[in-house]
Chains A and B, each alone.
Chain A
Amino acid sequence: MATQAIEQPPVPAAPEMPQETYLNAARGVFSWLLTKDHKRIAILYLIPVTLMFFVGGAAIAVSRLNLMTPEGGLVEPDTYNKLFTIHGVVMIFFFLVPVIPTVLGNFLLPMMIGAKDLAFPRINLLSWYLYMLGAGWATIAVLAGGVDTGWTFYTPYSSQASHYNVVMTMTGGVIAGFSSLLTGLNFIVTVHWLRAPGLTWFRLPIFVWATYATSFIFLLAVPVLAMALIMVIIERALHFGIFDPALGGDPLLFQHLFWFYSHPAVYIMILPAMGVVSEVIPCFARKQLYGYKFVAYSSFGIACLGFFVWAHHMFVAGISMYAAMIFSSLTFLVAVPSAIKVFNWTATLYKGSISFEAPMLFALGFIALFTMGGLTGLFLATLGMDMHVHDTYFVVAHFHFIMVGGTVLGYMAGLHYWWPKITGRMYSDWWSRIGAIVMFIGFFLTFLPQFVLGYNGMPRRTHMYVPEFQVWNVMSTAGASILGVGYILPLCYLIPSLWFGKPAGPNPWHATGLEWQTASPPPKENFASSPVVVRPPYQYHLEKAQNEP
Chain B
Amino acid sequence: MNPEDSLLTDELREEFEQTMLASERLEAQFHDIEQQHQAASLGMWAFLATEVMFFGTLFLGVYVYRHAYPDAFEKASERLNWLIGGINTVVLLVSSLTVVLAVHYASLGRRKPLVVFLTLTMLLGLCFLSLKGLEYYIDYLENLIPGWKFEPQEWVQAGLRPDQVPNVRLFFSFYWIMTSLHALHVTIGVGAMAVLMVLAWRGHFSPAYYIPVDVTALYWHFVDIVWIFLLPTLYLMGTHHWGK
Q: Which residues of A contact B (CB under 8 A)?
A: 110, 115-121, 123, 181, 185-186, 188-189, 192-194, 219-224, 226-228, 231, 234, 238-242, 246-250, 253, 257, 525, 530
Q: Which of B133-174 contact A (CB under 8 A)?
A: 146-147, 166-167, 169-170, 173-174
Given known contacts A223-B53, A241-B169, A242-B61, is B177 in contact with A193 (CB within 8 Å)? no
A246 touches B166 (CB 8 A): yes
Q: Please state if A227 and B54 are interface contacts (CB–CB under 8 Å).
A: yes
Other-chain residue from A186, A192, A247, A525 in contact with B169 (beta carbon distance below 8 A) = A247
CB-based nearest B residue for A530 = B31
0/1 string, B58-87, CB within 8 A of A gives 1: 101100110011000000000000000000
Whether the Cβ atoms of B57 and A228 lie closer than 8 Å is yes
Q: B68 touching A248 by the CB < 8 A rule?
A: yes
Complex Cα gap A123–B29 (Å): 14
Q: Provide the bound-state CA to CA distance between A116 and B30, in Å.
A: 8
Contact A223 B54 (CB under 8 A): yes
Contacts of B39 in A (CB 8 A): 119-120, 189, 192-194
Of A121, A219, A238, A257, which one neighbours B29 at CB under 8 angstroms? A121
15 contacts between A and B (CB under 8 A): A115-B29, A120-B39, A120-B43, A188-B46, A192-B42, A219-B53, A220-B53, A223-B51, A223-B54, A228-B57, A231-B58, A241-B146, A241-B170, A248-B69, A257-B60
How many Å from the CB of A492 to the closest CB on chain B?
37
- The docked-state distance in angstroms from the alpha carbon of A250 to that of B147 is 19
Q: In the complex, are the beta carbons of A234 and B177 less than 8 A apart?
A: yes
Closest B residue to A215 using CB positions = B46
A242 to chain B, nearest CB (A): 6
Indicate which residue in A110, A185, A530 contacts B46 across the interface (CB closer than 8 Å): A185
Contact of B176 with A by CB under 8 A: yes
Chain B residue numbers with a CB within 8 Å of A192 are: 39, 42
Task: A260 to B30: give the CA distance in the assembly, Å.
Answer: 36
Task: Write the chain B residue with the least CB distance to A254.
Answer: B61
Q: Count B-side interface residues using an 8 Å CB cutoff.
A: 37
Once the chains are docked, how many angstroms separate the CA of A193 from the CA of B36?
A: 9
Main secondary structure on B side of the interface with A: helix
Q: How far is the CA of A186 from the CA of B43 in the complex (A)?
A: 7
Rounded to whole angstroms, the CA-CA distance of A119 and B169 in the bound complex is 45
What 1/0 flags go to B196-210 for Cβ under 8 Å of A? 000000000000000
Contacts of B53 in A (CB 8 A): 219-224
Given the known inter-chain contacts A185-B46, A238-B147, please indicate yes or no for A253 contacting B173, CB distance below 8 A: no
In the bound complex, CA of A137 to CA of B169 (Å): 31
B50 interface hit (Cβ, 8 Å): yes
**Chain A proximity of B37: nearest CB distance (Å):** 10
**Which listed residue (A186, A231, A250) contacts B64, Cβ 8 A?**
A250
**Interface: B38 (CB within 8 A):** yes
Alpha-carbon gap, A71 to B3, bound state (A):
96
Could you say which residues of chain B place their CB within 8 Å of the CB of A118?
29
Instruction: Report yes or no: A248 in contact with B166, Cβ–Cβ below 8 A.
Output: yes
B43: nearest chain-A partner, CB-CB: A189
A188 to B45, CA, bound (A): 11
Q: A194-B39, A223-B57, A242-B174 are in contact. Are A185 and B50 (CB under 8 A)?
A: yes
Q: Which of the listed residues A116, A231, A246, A248 has the most CB atoms from chain B within 10 Å of its own CB?
A: A248
Question: CB distance B147 to A240 under 8 Å?
Answer: yes
Cα separation A55 to B58 with both chains bound (whole Å): 34
Whether B97 sits at the interface, judged by CB under 8 Å, is no
Query: Is the beta-carbon distance between A247 and B167 smaller than 8 angstroms?
Result: yes
Complex Cα–Cα for A228 and B146 (A): 20
Residue among B35, B53, B60 with the most chain A CB within 10 A? B53
Query: B177 and A231: CB pair below 8 A?
Result: yes
Contact of B38 among A115, A193, A222, A224 (CB under 8 A): A193
Whether the pair A219, B166 counts as a contact (CB closer than 8 A) is no
Given contacts A185-B47, A185-B50, A247-B166, contact A117 B28 (CB under 8 A): yes
